[in-house]
């Protein structure tokens, strides 16, 4: 690396070895189009584990392979040349380092698809995050998953990306003909948000229309499995969920959910939240494939009942 020079005992700025502005940015970004590259940045070049002190374009790859094992178009050259002006090029060394191919945010966000009550008799899934006029930032889950006899203020564990967080039961679970949900107020209020697996932001709640939305492709966001594709089979449905309780205005999809998914989000291709999982009809012996259903409570209804805002 060039050193700063002195003139008449005055230290002058170090000469630049790299192009400035968007030219450098565009050239670094260009390496992201190379197969196997998961990250690229300006850093220090290393040789045999030692810092050479030279600036370089560092490319992180899923697996570091020899040139003999790579297609020619996949090889990262030892030097990258940047045309800064006509007939003038700058040479920038490159470096290749192995990196994990799976990016994760550093902090967990408490929200959709996190696990409620790991180890509880009735484990459930986080639905959406809300700003409540009384309780502040809260997350929803299925009311029936909260242990019977739990009082407001009871501690519930919420697990996000393998980390456990404490949340308080904000109020008694609401289980009636309109809804089946509970509100949890995490101690870590600044970590509450509507991000699927801490990365993908969910759109606002959507009110489905029977005239247009029956038959739409939808997706369930479970806590511990891949996204589940389902089809909207029915809207404005009614279900007898207990001997003396009929719930109304429900969403029906293919039955692809299982125990522990209660409270999970149902979204469309735009990541808008349609509903939160209530439960499913058990398989009936001899029934055809299309006769199994999962049932969801419309998400907008919970905001209306709680007079809350979607985060």
Domains of the chain (ranges; CATH) run 6-98 (no CATH), 115-196 (2.40.10), 203-306 (2.40.10.10)
Phi, psi at residue 94, to the nearest 5°? -120, 160
d(CA 309, CA 311): 6
* Nearest Cα to Cα of residue 215 among 250, 253, 248: 253
pTM of the model: 0.69
Task: Name the helix (H) or strand (E) containing 247.
Answer: strand 245-254
Task: Name the helix (H) or strand (E) containing 273.
Answer: strand 272-280
DSSP strands (E only) in 2-77 = 6-7, 10-11, 37-47, 50-61
CB contact at 8 A, 186 and 110? yes
pLDDT over 90 at 88, yes or no: no
pLDDT at 73: 76
pLDDT at 49: 80
293-298 vs 272-280, strand pairing mode: antiparallel
Per cent of the chain over pLDDT 90 is: 41
Looking at the DSSP assignment, which residues form a beta bridge with residue 246? 240
pLDDT at 1: 45
* Nearest Cα to Cα of residue 265 among 208, 222, 216, 213: 222
**248-252 long-range contacts, CB within 8 A, separation 24+:** 248/177, 248/178, 249/298, 249/301, 250/275, 250/278, 250/295, 250/296, 250/297, 250/298, 251/208, 251/275, 251/295, 251/296, 251/297, 251/298, 252/293, 252/294, 252/295, 252/296
306: exposed, middle or buried (Cβ count in 10 Å: 0-12, 13-18, 19+): buried
pLDDT at 4: 53
Interval 215-251: pLDDT, tens: 999 999 999 889 999 999 899 998 888 788 888 889 9
pLDDT at 85: 66
Alpha helices in 99-217 (DSSP H): 210-213
pLDDT at 13: 61
pLDDT at 306: 97
CB contact at 8 A, 96 and 269? no
How much of the chain is in helix, strand and coil states, percent to nearest 5?
15, 45, 40
pLDDT over 70 at 285, yes or no: no
Interval 248-281: pLDDT, tens: 889 999 888 988 899 999 999 999 999 999 988 7
Interval 129-147: pLDDT, tens: 999 999 999 999 999 999 8
Q: What is the mean pLDDT of residues 202-212?
A: 91
Mean pLDDT computed over every residue of the chain: 85
Phi-psi region of 215 (alpha: psi -120 to 50; beta: other; left: phi over 0): left
pLDDT at 199: 85
Q: How confident is the model at residue 8 (pLDDT cuts 50, 70, 90)?
A: low
pLDDT at 17: 67
Q: How confident is the model at residue 124 (pLDDT cuts 50, 70, 90)?
A: very high
88 or 254: which carries more pLDDT confidence? 254
pLDDT over 60 at 83, yes or no: yes
CB contact at 8 A, 111 and 267? no
Question: Which of these ranges, 5-9, 32-36, 159-163, has the smallest mean pLDDT?
Answer: 5-9
* Nearest Cα to Cα of residue 277 among 181, 171, 170, 206: 181
- Please, what's the b/e burial string for 37-75 (b: 16 or more CB within 10 A of its CB; e: otherwise)? beebeeeebeeeeeeeeebbbbbbbeeeeeeeeeeeeee
203-205 vs 272-280, strand pairing mode: parallel
pLDDT at 120: 63
């Amino acid at each position: 690396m060039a050193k700063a020079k002195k003139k008449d005992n005055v230290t002058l700025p170090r000469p630049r070895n790299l192009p400035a502005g968007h030219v450098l940015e565009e050239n670094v970004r260009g390496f992201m189009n190379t197969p196997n590259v998961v990250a690229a940045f300006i850093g220090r070049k290393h040789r045999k584990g030692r810092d050479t002190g030279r600036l370089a374009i560092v490319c992180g790859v899923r697996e570091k392979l020899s040139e003999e094992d790579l297609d020619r178009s996949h090889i990262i050259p030892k030097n990258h040349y940047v045309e800064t002006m006509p007939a003038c090029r700058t040479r920038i060394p490159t470096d290749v380092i192995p990196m994990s191919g799976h990016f994760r945010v550093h902090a967990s966000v408490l929200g959709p698809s996190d696990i409620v009550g790991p180890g509880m008799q009735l484990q459930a899934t986080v639905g959406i995050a809300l700003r409540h006029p009384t309780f502040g930032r809260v997350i929803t889950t299925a009311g029936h998953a909260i242990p019977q006899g739990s009082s407001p203020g009871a501690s519930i564990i919420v697990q996000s990306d393998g980390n456990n967080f404490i949340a308080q039961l904000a109020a008694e679970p609401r289980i009636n003909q309109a809804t089946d949900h509970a509100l949890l107020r995490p101690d870590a209020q600044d970590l509450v948000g509507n991000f699927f697996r801490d990365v993908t932001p969910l759109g606002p709640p959507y009110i489905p229309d029977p005239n247009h939305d029956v038959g739409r492709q939808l997706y369930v966001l479970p806590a511990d499995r891949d996204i589940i594709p389902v089809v909207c089979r029915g809207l404005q449905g009614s279900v007898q969920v207990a001997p003396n309780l009929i719930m109304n205005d429900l969403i029906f999809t293919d039955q692809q959910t299982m125990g522990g998914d209660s409270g999970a989000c149902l979204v469309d291709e735009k990541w808008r939240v349609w509903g939160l999982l209530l439960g499913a009809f058990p398989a009936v012996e001899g029934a055809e494939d299309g006769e199994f259903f999962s049932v969801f409570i419309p998400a907008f209804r919970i905001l209306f009942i709680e007079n809350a805002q979607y985060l």
